């Protein structure tokens, strides 16, 4: 039996000419060609659109059977099929894919197994799935989708077009903005890790704040965002969090910052706008990172960063005082190497040495 592509089975598609106009591309090819789906270059057929944004996929370009390929002007010279030339091929492909493969919205209303408190305010266009629990005084705005098994506790607010995919927990007084997506297993607004040692025992510090999330934020599966101890933990507009991330209490993450899986951010840290944190990066508590900083994977950020740029650094664990001494010396290595080169030239003026020695 031939497999059926569920999208192309009902999608009327769009012509390349229409795509070019809608997404601001230069079309090199027949504007009347119609496409109905997106596909990888090596799997595409004449009804599909592919893309090239990474040079390692160029090897598939010469043999692709796609109806068109989204790429940049330099790469288009090597394309044997129709080309949609874009300044940012990857972003353009994402928009084309979203248009050709729209997600079917959930039907408005609540499932019979859902438990909704009488004081909750739920817009008639919202969808509440099976086995959901909606607490007292919760406000759910237009076209919100709350997937199976999700829990929204008292006084929380979900903005227009926001979607909790499944098994999401939203804590008390959490405010989530418009068009946000929270993936399965995420917990937003659990208590922060606040403990004070006294007389040999831990005293739990009450977590009295909550979480405020802006518009167009996406939070990955099993990621946790803790409520503030005093005041709120804040994710500004457009933040992207991958799966398995920990955001501690009273952290503030600036607009359009993105974090890859297993990043951990300790309490009361402020991260600027348009930052990127690689997988397993760790950020210490109560520091500040300015806008436009990139932190490499596995890096440990132990102090504030006030200059935009790309930062790397991971090192073995050792006794703290020795680590600090070594860290200072490590930072001086480049100067030391230059001093050694100058000394060598002075002592051996006729001997040539490479700049990398």
Per the CB < 8 A criterion, the answer to whether 232 and 248 are in contact is no
What is the topology classification, in CATH, of domain 109-311? UDP N-Acetylglucosamine Acyltransferase; domain 1 (2.160.10)
Q: 121-122 and 82-85 as β-strands: parallel, antiparallel, unpaired?
A: unpaired
Q: Is position 249 annotated as part of the catalytic site?
A: yes
Q: What is the pLDDT of residue 270?
A: 98
Q: What is the pLDDT of residue 55?
A: 86
Q: What tokens appear for 266 in the block? A: 């300790």
Break the chain into its structural domains and give their ranges: 14-100, 109-311, 319-357
Catalytic annotation, pick one of 78, 111, 117, 249: 249
Q: What is the pLDDT of residue 341?
A: 87
Q: What is the pLDDT of residues 136-173, one digit of tens each?
A: 999 999 999 999 999 999 999 999 999 999 999 999 99
Q: What is the pLDDT of residues 42-87, one digit of tens each?
A: 999 999 999 999 888 889 999 999 999 999 999 998 899 999 999 9
Q: What is the pLDDT of residue 353?
A: 56
Measure CA of the first residue to CA of the last residue in the chain; give whole Å.
Answer: 65
Spans in the chain with pLDDT lower than 50 = 1-10
Q: Give me the CATH code for the 14-100 domain, please.
A: 3.40.1390.10
Q: What is the pLDDT of residue 297?
A: 92
Closest to 249 measured CA to CA, from 204, 175, 194: 194
């Amino acid at each position: 039996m031939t497999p059926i592509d569920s999208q192309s089975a009902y999608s009327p598609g769009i012509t390349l000419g229409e795509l070019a106009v809608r997404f601001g591309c230069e079309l090199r090819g027949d504007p009347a060609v119609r496409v109905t789906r997106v596909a990888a270059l090596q799997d595409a057929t004449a009804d599909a659109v592919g893309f090239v944004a990474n040079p390692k996929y160029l090897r598939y370009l010469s043999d692709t059977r796609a109806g068109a390929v989204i790429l940049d002007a330099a790469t288009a010279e090597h394309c044997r099929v129709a080309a949609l030339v874009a300044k940012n091929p990857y972003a353009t492909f994402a928009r084309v894919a979203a248009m050709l493969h729209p997600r079917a919205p959930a039907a408005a209303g609540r499932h019979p197994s859902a438990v909704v408190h009488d004081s909750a305010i739920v817009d008639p266009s919202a969808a509440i799935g099976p086995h959901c629990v909606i607490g007292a005084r919760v406000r759910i705005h237009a076209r919100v989708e709350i997937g199976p098994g999700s829990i929204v506790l008292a006084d929380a607010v979900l903005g227009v077009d926001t979607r909790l995919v499944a098994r999401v927990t939203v804590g008390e007084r959490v405010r989530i903005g418009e068009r946000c997506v929270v993936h399965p297993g995420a917990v937003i607004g659990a208590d922060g890790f606040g403990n004070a040692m006294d007389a040999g025992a831990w005293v739990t510090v009450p977590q009295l704040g909550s979480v405020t999330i802006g518009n167009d934020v996406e939070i990955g599966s099993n990621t946790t965002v803790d409520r503030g101890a005093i005041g709120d933990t804040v994710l500004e507009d457009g933040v992207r969090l991958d799966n398995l991330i920990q955001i501690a209490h009273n952290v503030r993450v600036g607009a359009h910052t993105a974090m890859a899986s297993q990043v951990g951010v300790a309490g009361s840290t402020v991260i600027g706008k348009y930052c990127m944190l690689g997988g397993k990066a760790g950020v210490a508590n109560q520091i500040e990172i300015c806008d436009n900083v990139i932190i490499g994977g596995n890096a440990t950020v132990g102090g504030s960063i006030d200059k935009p740029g790309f930062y790397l650094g991971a090192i073995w664990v050792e006794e703290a005082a020795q680590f600090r001494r070594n860290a200072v010396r490590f930072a001086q290595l480049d100067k030391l190497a230059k001093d050694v080169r100058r000394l060598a030239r002075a002592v051996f003026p006729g001997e040539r040495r490479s700049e990398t020695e």
